Amino acid sequence: MKFSYFHLMPYTDLAMEDYTGANAPGWPFTNRDQDPHKVQQMYRTYVDDMVHAESCGFDWVGCNEHHYTPYGMMANPNIIGGALAYRTSRARIAMIGNIIPINNPVRVAEEYAMLDCMSGGRLMAGFMRGIPHEYIAYNLPPSESWERQREAIALIKKCWTEPEPFGWEGKHFQFKQIAIWPKPFQKPHPPFLVSASNPDSARFAGEVGATMGMVLISDLDSTRECIEIYRESARQHGWEPKPENVLIGMHCLIADSDEEARRWMASGREYFNKLLMSPQREAMGMVIRETRYFQDDASRDRWRNRLASRGEATLEQAIDRGTIICGSPETVVAQIKRVHAALGHGVFNFTVKVGNVPDAVIRHGMELFRDRVLPHVRDL
């Protein structure tokens, strides 16, 4: 079993009472109260913790791309990847990842190749389709997300593997001549991951030969169904996924006791749901009402239900469902074993900075993971 230390890098120096209820901001989230000196310190703390994760036994350290909210301060996660490449030596640099339909795919291919060479072949390349409102941020039609993602993946793979200059004349991307420098360290190219949290994207992940990444939000049964769809799609396209090709993500908090862990998780989750997720929900509502991001009405309904379920489940319900890892080391060992027994996956992706949980609490939890959790779950 492999474990990924994942960080959203949120901005947490906002008083919740100033931005909730009648004062809840829309989307984009106003940046009038952002303090650049505090942003500087947050980046330093977050990167230091990601580096420390390697010494705590985590196999991957990762982050991703978001825009226009304090939910995640990473318009370009590859910058964080560069900060990690020379301060780590073993862990995969997990960019989970670049939203490739809204970016220049050749630029993504170049930056990912740089990270792969800088890290000596430790890149896990995320080819994300992205949360719908990210398309509004970059003034692109959300309805094109699927076809832009498909074309971008094909172009990036060719950038990585074609030994001679080539041209590209696609529907969404056109380049007269391409020959990237450097090419990736890993051959034929770095492993890549796509989000696969619903049946449509699970089929797509199997089709393109990607590792599937899922955020465990609803329940274990529906997650298991997506994994089976992914595996069947992969078989139809001539390959067999291994457990390490299935990544399951969730919030995680480890403390000395169950009571302490639940107390910190409850406060952090309140900040996350009421403040950090508020503009995300507002933007998602805009997309649901006004654009055709989804392949069909069923896909639209799944996103609507996904947002609702995130806010409706209590902490106790989420723990009971297996969608949150939270407790003492002994409790967390049991929770990890339960989820793994149900899903048979090979990678846990733990979001450790939940809302405004103090960084000292997170650092202590990392060390509890190393000393009292990992020895009991490494061989699953």
- Write out pLDDT tens, residues 64-116: 999 999 999 999 999 999 999 999 999 999 999 999 999 999 999 999 999 99
What is the reported pLDDT for 355? 97
- Return the half-sphere exposure (C-beta side, CA atoms, 13 A cut-off) of residue 31: 11
Which domains are assigned to the chain? Answer: 2-377 (3.20.20.30)
**Gap between the Cα atoms of 189 and 121, Å rounded:** 9
Tell me the residue type at 286: M
Q: Confirm whether pTM is higher than 0.85.
A: yes
Around Cβ 76, how many Cβ atoms within 10 Å?
14
Comparing 42-51, 118-127, 206-215, 308-317, which segment has the lowest mean pLDDT?
A: 308-317
Question: With contact defined as beta carbons under 8 Å apart, do 10 and 71 qualify?
Answer: yes
Q: Give how far Cα 176 sits from Cα of 121, 124, 165, 179, Å.
A: 29, 28, 10, 11
What is the reported pLDDT for 165? 98
Mean pLDDT, the chain, rounded, equals 92
pLDDT band for position 293 (cuts 50, 70, 90): low
pLDDT band for position 308 (cuts 50, 70, 90): low
pLDDT tens digits for 59-68?
999 999 999 9
Comparing 189-198, 270-279, 357-366, which segment has the lowest mean pLDDT?
A: 270-279
Q: Which residues contact 159 (CB under 8 A, 6 or more apart)?
A: 105, 106, 109, 110, 113, 178, 180
**Gap between the Cα atoms of 214 and 223, Å rounded:** 8
Tell me the residue type at 169: E
**Gap between the Cα atoms of 275 and 198, Å rounded:** 26
* 193 beta partners: 126, 211
Q: Which of 348, 266, 373 is nearest to 2 (CA)?
A: 348
- 1 has a pLDDT exceeding 90: yes
pLDDT band for position 132 (cuts 50, 70, 90): confident
- 229 has a pLDDT exceeding 60: yes
Instruction: State the average pLDDT over residues 125-137.
Output: 87
Burial 218-231 (b: 16+ CB within 10 A, else e): bebeebeebbebbb
**Gap between the Cα atoms of 357 and 354, Å rounded:** 6
**Gap between the Cα atoms of 358 and 117, Å rounded:** 34
What is the reported pLDDT for 193? 97
204 vs 301, higher pLDDT? 204
Instruction: State the average pLDDT over residues 268-277.
Output: 93
Q: Which of 61, 315, 96 is nearest to 197 (CA)?
A: 96
33: Cα separation from own chain's centroid: 27
